[in-house]
Structure 1
Amino acid sequence: MTIIDVARDKALELGQGLNKEELVGVLNSDDSQLEELADIAHQTRLKWCGPEVEVEGIISIKTGGCPEDCHFCSQSGLFQSPVRSIRLDIAELVEAAKKTQKSGATEFCIVAAVKSPDQRLLDQVAVAIQAIEREVDIDISCSLGTLTADQAQQLHEMGVKRYNHNLEAARSFFPQVVTTHTWEERKNTLDLVRGVGMEACSGGIIGMGESLEQRAEFAVQLAEISPCEVPMNFLDPRPGTPFANRPLVPMGDALRAVAAFRLAMPSTTLRFAGGRELSLGDDGTEKGLLSGINAIIAGNYLTTLGQEIEKDIDMLGRIDLPIKAL
């Protein structure tokens, strides 16, 4: 059987994720196979997820000055990057949530550049959530670093629906990306999140120097932890970071990765996140939404500019994909 036959029979027809060896076949497919594999991935997402696209906005409550050494991240206080530490007040967060909701988004994610939240930060998040909920009808998620069981419980009681904590890369490649904490620490936080009743969101970054085998390994490891959502980022090399000179992911490889992740996780929400504008551009973003993606982060990211929200909404209308409503 060809990899196209395997993808059709296993992922599309049965809703079963491809294994590592099969995903390596997708990632190594030639250009003549890409269009058909992408279409199978798209049909898989339509069959097992439905046609709707979920739109999310994100904002950083605390930017820069992070003590961790994630080699892709300009928010690390250990690198000579141009990002400096700032904090937003509650009124700014509420206004950002309002703007996000007006765009058609159903989710608003509060992010902080920290290893883990202290009680002061958790208290600030609690106040922000209460203020947002008084004025905005939107689901709230958070991304605040590693958590203890008590911190996870606090966030759940605040009304946080979903918690994002990216595994970032395959377990075998992770030590080349981060040295100040382990892959296992990140997975433990995801276990705690699900244990208290929050949805777990976890993905990572494509193009940090991993092999295609490690890219396939990463997709399988994500499938094994069964997150409700997987953000797919493509490396946007930031000045001053150890990965500043890494090349961009070519469009073809990016689309193969999208198809592979969909075929690894037929029923999971797969979200376009940072770097799609560089690796894919407008044409590639549309192709990605027809290759397995069923959610996007609209607007700007944490430290980089994204596409205007209105432009993304227009694009979804143009390719006839409905926006998910609350």
Structure 2
Amino acid sequence: MRGRAVSDIRETPAPPTTDGAPTDILAIARAQVLEQGEGLREQQIYECLTLPDDRVEDLLALAHEVRMRWCGPEVEVEGIVSVKTGGCPEDCHFCSQSGQFESPVRTAWLDIPSLVRAAKETAETGATEFCIVAAVRGPDDRLMSQVREGVAAIRKEVDINIACSLGMLTQEQVDELAAMGVHRYNHNLEAPKSHFHNVVTTHTWEERWETCEMVRAAGMELCCGGIVGMGETIEQRAEFAAQLGELAPDEVPLNFLNPRPGTPFAGYPLVEGAEALKTIAAFRLALPRTILRYAGGRELTLGDLGTKSGMLGGINAIIVGNYLTTLGRPTGSDLEMLGELKMPIKALSQTL
């Protein structure tokens, strides 16, 4: 299924029970999610994730219908830049920016003029969101000062929403970021709660959840997702989607593990294409009104045709350009793809 495009959008009728109620998960999802706007629950998500491969196109088609009904055809485009790279004290096993692993990434800081230039280049693509990212447990005074100065400089010269991803926050830091005018804060849960201890040991899943709740309470939009393919079971993948549904973030970035040299997950296999597409569609059915964003790993896991399939299977946002430590698709290729699919880029006025 890797690299296979969705050729059409069709509906497969479900076999009824003796009392006339459908039992097929796609028929149930059509009534529950498409018609009523109610996300799938954990067991239902699992049923979608374990559908046979010959039903992937039907699953993607339904997810696309859900996306179009509850989110519309527009695609939100975002660029990201690292203001502080490498040297992170945490041991997130997937991350080459951890100072605990022998990886090729070294500590570096981005100056303010370079930050503004990156924001301008992002805005020129039509993107409405520019995310400032730092590899830290949480921001110290130096980082907060850098972000404060950077946000002010960007807002002075570039018409774009500014997001931040700076690790775990205190209430005071949350309030300060909100006061700066930060539009959205990214803080991924990364993995299902039952699997988190296999991914990170230097902080807890609950600490991440707490930051997410503070962000929402402060009035910033919340961006919260994770990485698929870090050794979790299919049951845990369903658990993760359900936990994100409970948190109800404004945006969910969906990453697929790109194993990085020097990290504990360096030898993990890539997620198979059909499995990745089922995951995309299932997450859409769990989160019908959420911005579901293609993030890291899609290039390796899905390739060009598979990336298009995901756009026709529930995805309604993308990161253009490169990621923090890995290369993405050329920006022009993604924008050309959106044109081919007749998916308009969401205007800045639609995000305010």
State if a TM-score over 0.5 links the two structures: yes
Distance 1:218 1:5 in 2: 23
Aligned ranges for residues 1-326 of structure 1 at < 5 Å? 1-326=23-348
- Given residue 83 of structure 1, which amino acid in structure 2 is its aligned partner? V
Distance 1:277 1:259 in 2: 17
State the shift of 1:196 in Å.
1.1
State the shift of 1:318 in Å.
0.3
- The TM-score with structure 1 as length reference comes to 0.99
State the shift of 1:4 in Å.
1.3
- Given residue 81 of structure 2, which amino acid in structure 1 is its aligned partner? I
Residues 209-228 of structure 1 show CA distances to partners (whole Å, capped at 9, x for unaligned) of: 10000000000000001000
State the shift of 1:172 in Å.
0.2
Residues 182-225 of structure 1 show CA distances to partners (whole Å, capped at 9, x for unaligned) of: 00000000011111111111000000010000000000000001
Tell which deviates more after alignment, 107-116 or 17-26.
17-26
- Given residue 271 of structure 1, which amino acid in structure 2 is its aligned partner? R
Distance 2:326 2:242 in 1: 29
Q: Which runs of 4+ in 1 moved over 2 A?
A: none
State the shift of 1:33 in Å.
1.1
* Aligned CA-pair RMSD: 0.5
- Given residue 267 of structure 2, which amino acid in structure 1 is its aligned partner? N
Distance 1:233 1:242 in 2: 18
Residues 40-60 of structure 1 show CA distances to partners (whole Å, capped at 9, x for unaligned) of: 000001000011000000000
- Given residue 49 of structure 1, which amino acid in structure 2 is its aligned partner? C
Residues 164-194 of structure 1 show CA distances to partners (whole Å, capped at 9, x for unaligned) of: 0000010000000000000000000001111
**Structure 1 gap segments, 5+ residues each:** none
Contact conserved, 1:165 with 1:186, CA < 8 A, in 2? Answer: yes
Number of equivalences: 326
Matched-pair identity in %: 62
Tell which deviates more after alignment, 1-10 or 105-114.
1-10
Distance 1:11 1:256 in 2: 16
Residues 12-49 of structure 1 show CA distances to partners (whole Å, capped at 9, x for unaligned) of: 11111111111111110012211011100000010000
State the shift of 1:275 in Å.
0.2
State the shift of 1:3 in Å.
1.1
Structure with bigger gyration radius = 2
